[in-house]
Amino acid sequence: MRAFIPNPSFIAELEVDPETVKVFEDAADAVAEEANLLRHRFMREDGAVLARNESSRIHMDVYVVNVDPGGHMDEWGSVNNEAYAPLRTAVGNVGLQFAPTSKPA
């Protein structure tokens, strides 16, 4: 039996694979669609949450973003407003897991 040798470029290969990118695009679209259904009644009605693919030939970047000017208040709340969290809730509703991380330094 031969020992397993990990592929050091596995992640880089996945990031440029069109099928892998499509899976992430579909997941981002589903989250954006669900978040727009969950949006607070004061959020814009014209699709405040949308999926963006800014992938290149060498790196995959698929995002779900809230473009409403007050979207951060809706998502995270404030002293005077409770967090409504349409993006984080939408992630769980479509069967994915939200794993928060801090911003890189």
pLDDT higher than 60, residue 69: yes
Report the relative pairing of strands 49-53 and 62-66 from DSSP bridges.
Answer: antiparallel
At 65, phi and psi to the nearest 5?
Answer: -125, 150
| Euclidean distance between CA atoms 62 and 21, whole angstroms | 8
In this structure, of 13-17, 66-70, 79-83, 91-95, the range with the lowest mean pLDDT score is: 66-70
pLDDT of res. 76: 86
Provide the pLDDT confidence category of residue 55 given band limits of 50, 70 and 90. low
Annotated domain spans of the chain: 10-93
pLDDT in tens, 84-104: 888 888 889 998 888 777 766
pLDDT of res. 93: 92
- The token pair at 61 is 């970047």
pLDDT of res. 47: 55
